Chains A and B, each alone.
Chain A
Amino acid sequence: MTLGAPLSIRKKLLAVVLLTTLVALVVALGAIVGYDLRSYHRSLISDMTTQAELLGRTIAPALAFDDAKVAAENLGLLKFRPQIQSAAIYTARGRLFASFAREKDAEAFPKLPENDGQRIEGQDLILFKRIVSEGDILGTVYLRADYELYQRVLDYLGIAAVVMIAALLAALATSARLQRLITDPIVSIAGIAREVVEGRDYSRRAKKMSTDEVGTLVDSFNGMLTEIERRTQELEASNREVSRLNTELEGRVQERTAQLESANRELESFSYSVSHDLRAPLRAIDGYALMLEEDYAARLDDEGRRLLGVVRESSGQMARLIDDLLAFSQVGRKSLSRGQVDMAVLAREVVSDLTREKSVARVEVGELPAAEGDRPLLKQVWSNLVSNALKYSGKRELPLIQIGGRVEGREWIYWVRDNGTGFDMRYYSKLFGVFQRLHRAEEFEGTGVGLAIVQRIVLRHGGRVWAEGAIGEGACFRFALPMEV
C-alpha cells in the first residue's frame, strides 16, 4: 500500500479497517458465489440427467413398439419444465424419432445423437442420454436447457456491489467511532509532546486514557518528562553555581592582579630610586678620584696611580651598570605609544649608527615588512640585537651580519644572524636573564642587560623572542610581533 500524502493515524486506521473489510467481503462473497455457481451447475446437470433418464423410461415402450405419436405426446409434457427449450428422441440407429421445441421454428436438432454426456454451448446445456432397457439400447434422449450461469454471475455481481457498499459504509461509521479509542490517546500525547517542545515547558504531563500499550507510552513519556525536568533543574542550578564561582574567581583574579601590579610598581620605583640614588655617591667617588688624579698624580708613585686608575675604571663600570638598570626599569614603566613603524628604515638607521667606526663587519639588510608598535622601543630592540651581533662577531676576520624579516601567519617575524662566537644551547635558559652572561666580561664587554631589555620590549608588544646558536658557529636571534594585540 503506497500512500501519497502523509496521512494521520486516524486516516491510516480508517484505511486499514476499510481495506480489511473489503478484502474479507471479496473473499467471503467470492466463496459464496463460487459455491453457489458450482452447486447450480451440478444440480442443473443432475436435474437434467434425471429428467433425461425419466424421459427415456417413459418413452422406452413407444420406442420399443415404434410409436412415434406416443413418444411425441410424452415429449410434449416437457412444456411444464420451462428451462427445457427443446428435446428429441433418436432411435438406436440414430434416426430422429420424436421431438419437442418450445419455440417452434427456431429449433435445429442435431442430425445424429452423441454419446452419453453433457456440454455447455453458450447459454445452453446440451445433454444426451441413452435409453437402455433389459441390456438393449433403445435410443437416445436429447435435451437442450437454459444454462443461466452467466446471468447468475451478473446478478451476483450486482448483489455483491450493493452488499459491499453497504458493508463499507457500516464499517466506516463503526470504525469512525471505535478508532477514537485508539487514536485519541495517541493524538493527545502528540499534542502534549509538541507543546513541550515548542514551549520548553517540561512540567506538562500527558493524560492517561487507557491501560494498553498507549497507556504504557503515556507513562514512559511522563517519566521522561519528569527526568528531563529534573535534569534541567539540576543543570540550571549547576550553571548558576558555575557562574557564581566564575564571578568570584574573576574578582579574586582582579584583586590579585591589582596586588601584583602594585607590588611590581613598588619594585620598579624601588629599583629606579636605588639606581638613581646610587648615582650621586658614584659621581662623588668618580669626581674626587678625578680631582686626585689631576692634582696629586705627581706625588703618588706608580702603584698609587695604578690603584687610582682601577678606582676610576670601576666607578665608570658601575655608572654604565646603573644606566643600563635604569633603562631596563624604564622599559617596564613607560606606556607604549603604538604606531606604524617602517622596520627597514629603523634597522638601517641603527646599522649606520653602530658601524660608523667599526667598518670591518659586512652588514646585509634584507626586505623587512613594516610593523606596528612603539618606534623608540623597537629601535632599542634593533640596536641591542645589532650591537650584540657586532660584538660577538668582532673577532672574526670577515664578520657577516644578516638582517631579515617576513610575514608568517598573523605575525611579523624579524631576525639578526651573525657568524660570531655563538653560544651553547645548554645555557639557552639564561640567555635573556638580567645580568646573565654566557661569556666572561674580560672576553666581551657588556653588562648583561641588553637581551633582557629586548625580551621585555617584545613581550610588552605581545610578541615573543627566541634564538638558536652553537659555539663557534654564530647565532641567530628572532622576534615576532603580533598583527593584532
Chain B
Amino acid sequence: MLPAFALAALLVAGGAGECAAQADEAQAAEYRVKAAFLYKFGSFVEWPPDAFARPEIPFVIGVIGADELADELAQVVAGRSVSGHPITVRKLRRGSSLAGLQVLFIGRADGGRLAEILAPAKGQPMLTVTESEGALAHGSVINFVVVGDKVRFDVALPPAELGNLKISARLLAVARRVIAGPT
C-alpha cells in the first residue's frame, strides 16, 4: 500500500494549483514518498550479520533535520518489520549518537553540515540517505533527487562497501544514477 500513499499524495499535490498552501502540500507529498522509499530501501539492502546480534533488536531509522518526514515515516512503518526486525524511527538532533542505527536520513535542513554529520557513520554498517545536491561526494550512500514530479535517487556504492553493506542489483536497476568508482 505504500506506493499508493505516495502516489495519492502526488496526485493531490498536482491538483492543488492556486492554493496558498501549494508549496507546503508539495513538500508534504514529497516527504510521504520519501518516507515510503526509506522504509523500502531496507528490503533491498543487506546488513552484515553482526548488525543484528539478536532477532528482537529493532531496525532503527534515524532522521536528522526532517521531523515532518520522521512523523510521516513513523506512521508508514507502524507494525511493519524488515527481515523480522521491528522498525523504529528515531528523531535525532545535531550531536546525537549514531550508534545502533541501520538507516540514517539527513534532511535538507542540515544539508550544510553533511560532512560533519556523515563523518562518524563512515565505515559503519549504516545506510546513509540524503536529499541534498552533491551529498554523495560527502559519503552518503543514497541521495534523493526530484526529476519532474517524481522522486528518484542516486546510489554511491563505495561508502556502502566501506560500511559492509550489500545493495541489491534490483535496487540499482531502478536508481537514476549509480556511482561505482571512488568519488
- Let me know if A91 is at the binding interface, CB within 8 A: yes
- Let me know if A67 is at the binding interface, CB within 8 A: yes
Q: Are A65 and B37 in contact (CB under 8 A)?
A: yes
Residue of B nearest to A67 (CB): B174
Residues of B within 8 A of A14 (CB): none
Q: Are A70 and B173 in contact (CB under 8 A)?
A: yes
Question: A36-44, A133-141, A238-246, A406-414: which one contacts chain B?
Answer: A133-141
Residues of A within 8 A of B178 (CB): none
Residues of A within 8 A of B173 (CB): 61-62, 70
- Let me know if B183 is at the binding interface, CB within 8 A: no
Q: How distant is the Cα of A61 from the Cα of B171 in the complex, in angstroms?
A: 6
Contact of A66 among B6, B82, B168 (CB under 8 A): B6
Contact of A134 among B4, B37, B43 (CB under 8 A): B43
Interface code A92-103, partner B: CB below 8 Å = 1, 0 otherwise?
A: 110100000000
- Give the most central of B7, B37, B40: most A CB within 10 Å: B40
Q: Are B82 and A137 in contact (CB under 8 A)?
A: no
- Let me know if A88 is at the binding interface, CB within 8 A: no
Q: How distant is the Cα of A137 from the Cα of B2 in the complex, in angstroms?
A: 9
Residues of A within 8 A of B6 (CB): 66
Tell me the interface secondary structure of chain B in the complex. Answer: helix
Q: How distant is the Cα of A265 from the Cα of B122 in the complex, in angstroms?
A: 175
A320 to chain B, nearest CB (A): 164
Interface code B160-177, partner A: CB below 8 Å = 1, 0 otherwise?
A: 000000001011011000
When A65-B37, A133-B43, A134-B82 are in contact, do A58 and B4 touch as well, CB less than 8 Å?
no
Residue of B nearest to A97 (CB): B3
| Size class of the contact patch on chain B | 20 to 34
Residues of B within 8 A of A62 (CB): 173-174
Q: How distant is the Cα of A62 from the Cα of B153 in the complex, in angstroms?
A: 12
- Let me know if B19 is at the binding interface, CB within 8 A: no
Q: How distant is the Cα of A93 from the Cα of B4 in the complex, in angstroms?
A: 6
Q: Are B44 and A66 in contact (CB under 8 A)?
A: no
Q: How distant is the Cα of A138 from the Cα of B4 in the complex, in angstroms?
A: 9
Contact of A136 among B1, B44, B150 (CB under 8 A): B1
When A64-B40, A133-B43, A134-B82 are in contact, do A58 and B170 touch as well, CB less than 8 Å?
yes
- Give the most central of A63, A64, A67, A95: most B CB within 10 Å: A64
Q: Are A91 and B3 in contact (CB under 8 A)?
A: yes
Q: Are A66 and B2 in contact (CB under 8 A)?
A: no
Q: Are B170 and A91 in contact (CB under 8 A)?
A: no
Residue of B nearest to A94 (CB): B4
Residues of A within 8 A of B4 (CB): 91-93
Contact of B44 among A61, A93, A138 (CB under 8 A): A61
Residues of A within 8 A of B44 (CB): 61
Q: How distant is the Cα of A67 from the Cα of B37 in the complex, in angstroms?
A: 12
- Let me know if A145 is at the binding interface, CB within 8 A: no
Q: How distant is the Cα of A70 from the Cα of B172 in the complex, in angstroms?
A: 11
- Let me know if A60 is at the binding interface, CB within 8 A: yes
Interface code B22-39, partner A: CB below 8 Å = 1, 0 otherwise?
A: 000000000001000100
B171 to chain A, nearest CB (A): 6
Q: How distant is the Cα of A134 from the Cα of B37 in the complex, in angstroms?
A: 14
Q: Are A66 and B170 in contact (CB under 8 A)?
A: no
Q: Are A65 and B40 in contact (CB under 8 A)?
A: yes
Q: Are A66 and B150 in contact (CB under 8 A)?
A: yes
Residues of A within 8 A of B152 (CB): 65, 67
Residue of A nearest to B175 (CB): A65
When A60-B170, A61-B174, A134-B82 are in contact, do A66 and B1 touch as well, CB less than 8 Å?
no
Q: How distant is the Cα of A92 from the Cα of B33 in the complex, in angstroms?
A: 15
When A91-B7, A134-B43, A134-B82 are in contact, do A65 and B1 touch as well, CB less than 8 Å?
no
B1 to chain A, nearest CB (A): 6
A212 to chain B, nearest CB (A): 78
Q: How distant is the Cα of A65 from the Cα of B174 in the complex, in angstroms?
A: 7
Q: Which of A87-127 contact B (CB under 8 A)?
A: 91-93, 95
12 contacting pairs across A/B (C-beta < 8 A): A61-B168, A61-B171, A64-B2, A64-B40, A64-B174, A65-B152, A65-B174, A66-B6, A67-B174, A91-B4, A92-B3, A138-B3
A residues apposed to B, CB below 8 Å: 58, 60-67, 70, 91-93, 95, 133-138
Q: A92-B3, A137-B1 are in contact. List 14 more A-B contacts (CB 8 A).
A: A58-B170, A61-B168, A61-B170, A62-B173, A62-B174, A64-B37, A65-B37, A65-B171, A66-B3, A66-B150, A67-B152, A91-B4, A134-B80, A136-B2
Q: 8 closest pairs, A vs B, by CB?
A: A61-B170, A67-B174, A65-B174, A61-B174, A93-B4, A64-B40, A70-B174, A62-B174
